[in-house]
Amino acid sequence: MKNKSLKRIAISFLLVCMMVLSACTAFVGCTPTPDPEPPEANLVKIELDTSAVKKEFAFGETFTYDGLKVKAIMDDDTTKDVALTDCRGSTPSTELAGKRSVSVTYQGKNARYEITVKPRVYPEISATSLLDIAEENDSKAFRVEAEAMDLKAVNKENGVASLVAEAPEEAEITSGGKYITGFGVKYNYFGFKFTAAKQFENVTLVMRLANSDKENIADIADHMKIFLNRAETEEDGVTGEITKQANLDAGVCKWVDVVIRGLTVREGDNFITFDIAGEKVPDIDYLDFYVGMRYISSVVNLAEVTEAPLMVDLEDFDTEKASTRQDWADANPDKIVNGLGLETVTKESPGKTTSRGTSVAALNAGSELSTTIRLAENATLKIGFVGASASSYVVKDKWEFYIDGYKLLFVDATDIRGGNPGAGEYWDWINVNLGAYNIPAGDHFFAVKNVGGSCNIDGLTFEVLTMGGEYHSDGVDLDNQEEFMPHACGHVCLVCGKCQDATCEHTDCSEKCHGCVVMEAENMSKEGVVTRPDFEGALGKGNYAAVADDKASGGQRTYGFGAGTVFTVKVTATEDCTIDIFVRLFSDKTETFGQNFEFTMDGAPLTQANPDETMTPNGTFKSVCVAQGVELTAGVHIFTMKVVASHFDFDCVGFSSTTAATTPVTVSQPDPAPAHTCEHVCTVETCGKCTDAACTDPVCADKCSGHTEQGETTEPEENS
């Protein structure tokens, strides 16, 4: 009974569950189906509204999109605004004038618009000339102080109060005490005008620069371009750039010379301009133009009164025009430094001390050494020469000293002979007083010239007696000495010694060279040469030697010929004319010119113009006028120069017209002599020698000893 009840309960529960399930299924089947989502619109293109955007830019102006509006066009004909931050856009350069395209991209769709970059406008350079170059100057550079430039249009770097700065007292010497700085703003453009009386070639520009930045400047050309007469042409683009690569270490007023050589300054107006391309620009103290003068890298800086003389070793001078005696150089090749023979001092006289332990020895006469004296302010400067000699040697007689071309006249006549050669004491140093001179602030060209043989030289001393105030009572003005240095012409003909510059009006250059016609000795025939006996072994008879020499007119000089040598030149005159004749020689000992040579023209002796001219062993060539006013008719003439007795080296012979603006002659080798035809040849076939004892031609030097018809020997006949 109990089991049946449980069974009924289970069946009832199952039926209830089935009814519930059916009810749920019926409910679900009655729920409505939702509508599908509409598809998203796709981007078709973008459109740009440029009505409010900037479309014209100044050269170098920062580009901007401000004002640009971007609209997205969808495929369902709807539109929407797009933020610029959601777009990508190109950034056109504004450093090239002309039309530029700007590209804007949004979700792969692109649109463009056009802008215009205006040409760069360069500020006008002041029409006031800061420098006028009238003529070459071989003793002083032409200077423009940087602070003298017109800087009104120049933008300053952030935080810079003034473009012109005062040099700190403790800094290196600054010309005028001022310099320009803080102009490192891109597109600054400034400079100055200067004028020239004529066109000058091979001008050297020296810019005095420093770097007050905290970091070194690897190359100034990366930040500043420099131009001489900048111009723009369709063919060449921009011309006139002269920037030179140069690096500058950081440091206020740590001045460095940046040298640009080989410039051409045109006649009339010229402009130096600076175009700033970056922030790291140098400071500028001044610009120097070397016109007819060499730039000297050696500098003696003098900024205050000295407690003791400043010693400057001679080897620290510029040595471009100095050389050592060849015999000493050959014996000491390892001791030649920059053309100077540097000798290690081994045993000085008691109480004497050599600067740096070396001295300059065996300088060639004619050597010149130079330096720049740089004064912070006006000063009285006392100068000394420290030398030594084992034999009598008066420096005043052997040397000349110049400041800015003025010869120093107050040199003491001190004989520096001293030491004890027997004990090996060759370095008995004596300081010779060269005088005290009043010199204005700035740079001054100082030259020392050996004119009469060498001694041992340690260096020069410089003592500042007064600076900045009154000149010292012991000082004399350079331009108020008893005499002045003669006009130093930069256009002297090597052969005749006359001025080649037709525009030079100096009285010392009143005689002009009309173009000397030159026959170089190395090109002359050896037919008349008699070789000096001491050279025969090396050269062979009838020869001379030609060696390179940069002081010779053709780059070579000759030697090795002796007494009896006859040099011959064929002179062809294109018209009747009057000429002077010169020879250029070099001597290694003192000799009188007229006793060593004889000259003829067409066989007639020429009267020597300077028979008493003395040649001295000063290490330089000398031109001597051998005949003046020699009259030539149109046609061919033969000039001869016979060596009587000589130790001269021969450079060249020159012919200069005195009656025409040019020299109407040409020179060449003489025509070769016709071959000797002997009329007295022995008829015996096995002989063929000359039978005339009176025949002196070298070809017939080997004489026939005489033959009969059968070939037997007989005595040669005398033939008149």
The pLDDT tens digits for 424-451 are 888 999 999 999 999 999 999 999 999 8
CB 151, CB 125: distance < 8 Å: no
* CATH architecture assignment, domain 129-290: Sandwich (2.60)
Domain ranges (residues) in the chain: 43-117, 129-290, 303-480, 507-668, 675-720
Which residues partner with 566 through β-bridges? 642
Which residues partner with 312 through β-bridges? 460
Q: Is the dihedral of CA 165, 168, 172, 178 positive or negative?
A: positive
Nearest to 196 by CA among 251, 260, 132, 259: 132
pLDDT of residue 145: 96
pLDDT of residue 484: 41
CATH class of 43-117: mainly beta
pLDDT of residue 498: 84
Q: Which two structure tokens, joined as six digits, stand for 403?
A: 């400041």
Question: Model confidence over 211-244: pLDDT tens digits?
Answer: 999 899 999 999 999 999 999 887 778 999 998 8
pLDDT of residue 88: 94
Q: Is the dihedral of CA 141, 145, 151, 157 positive or negative?
A: positive
Of residues 679 and 642, the one with the higher pLDDT is 642
Question: Model confidence over 680-696: pLDDT tens digits?
Answer: 888 887 788 888 888 88
49-63, 389-403, 557-571, 582-596: range with lowest mean pLDDT: 582-596
CB 276, CB 60: distance < 8 Å: no
Question: Model confidence over 20-29: pLDDT tens digits?
Answer: 455 444 444 4
Most confident range, picked from 123-132, 342-351, 364-373, 688-697: 123-132
- 368 pLDDT band, cuts 50/70/90, is very high
CATH class of 303-480: mainly beta
**Coil/strand/helix, residue 136:** coil
- The vertex-354 CA angle with 407 and 172, nearest 5°, equals 65
pLDDT of residue 4 exceeding 70: no
- 171 pLDDT band, cuts 50/70/90, is confident
Of residues 528 and 594, the one with the higher pLDDT is 528
Q: What is the DSSP letter of 689?
A: -
pLDDT of residue 570: 94
- 287 pLDDT band, cuts 50/70/90, is very high
Please give the C-alpha separations between residue 369 and each of 41, 317, 318, 482, in angstroms, as whole numbers. 89, 6, 6, 24
pLDDT of residue 719: 43
Q: Which helix (H) or strand (E) holds 582?
A: strand 577-587
Contacts 24+ apart (CB under 8 A), 532-540: 532/560, 532/561, 532/562, 533/562, 535/559, 535/560
pLDDT of residue 96 exceeding 90: no
Q: 87: number of CA atoms within 13 Å, CB side?
A: 25
What CA–CA distance (Å, rounded) separates 143 from 135? 14
Question: Model confidence over 542-566: pLDDT tens digits?
Answer: 899 998 888 888 889 899 998 999 9
Q: In whole angstroms, what separates CA 359 from the centre of its chain?
A: 28
Average pLDDT over residues 369-378: 94
Average pLDDT over residues 33-50: 84
pLDDT of residue 618: 58
- 245 pLDDT band, cuts 50/70/90, is confident
Rounded percentage of the chain residues whose pLDDT exceeds 70: 91
Are 129-290 and 303-480 in the same CATH fold?
yes
271-275, 405-409, 557-561, 615-619: range with lowest mean pLDDT: 615-619
Q: Which two structure tokens, joined as six digits, stand for 142?
A: 């032409």
Which residues partner with 442 through β-bridges? 375
pLDDT of residue 260 exceeding 80: yes
Average pLDDT over residues 708-713: 50
Burial (0-12, 13-18, 19+ Cβ within 10 Å), 18: exposed
- 400 pLDDT band, cuts 50/70/90, is very high
pTM: 0.56
What CA–CA distance (Å, rounded) separates 381 from 302? 10
CA end-to-end span of the chain, whole Å?
Answer: 195
Q: Which helix (H) or strand (E) holds 28?
A: helix 2-28
Question: Model confidence over 102-122: pLDDT tens digits?
Answer: 999 999 999 999 999 999 889
CB 126, CB 193: distance < 8 Å: yes
What CA–CA distance (Å, rounded) separates 192 from 179? 15
Average pLDDT over residues 360-389: 93
Nearest to 466 by CA among 439, 433, 429: 439
- 717 pLDDT band, cuts 50/70/90, is very low
pLDDT of residue 185: 94
Q: Which two structure tokens, joined as six digits, stand for 667?
A: 């020179």
Q: Which two structure tokens, joined as six digits, stand for 77?
A: 């004909």
33-47, 243-257, 267-281, 575-589: range with lowest mean pLDDT: 33-47
pLDDT of residue 358: 93
pLDDT of residue 18 exceeding 70: no
What CA–CA distance (Å, rounded) separates 138 from 488? 7
* CATH H-level superfamily of 507-668: Galactose-binding domain-like (2.60.120.260)
- 142 pLDDT band, cuts 50/70/90, is very high
pLDDT of residue 701: 82
Average pLDDT over residues 289-294: 92
Average pLDDT over residues 263-271: 97
What CA–CA distance (Å, rounded) separates 645 from 593? 10
pLDDT of residue 136 exceeding 50: yes
**Coil/strand/helix, residue 370:** strand
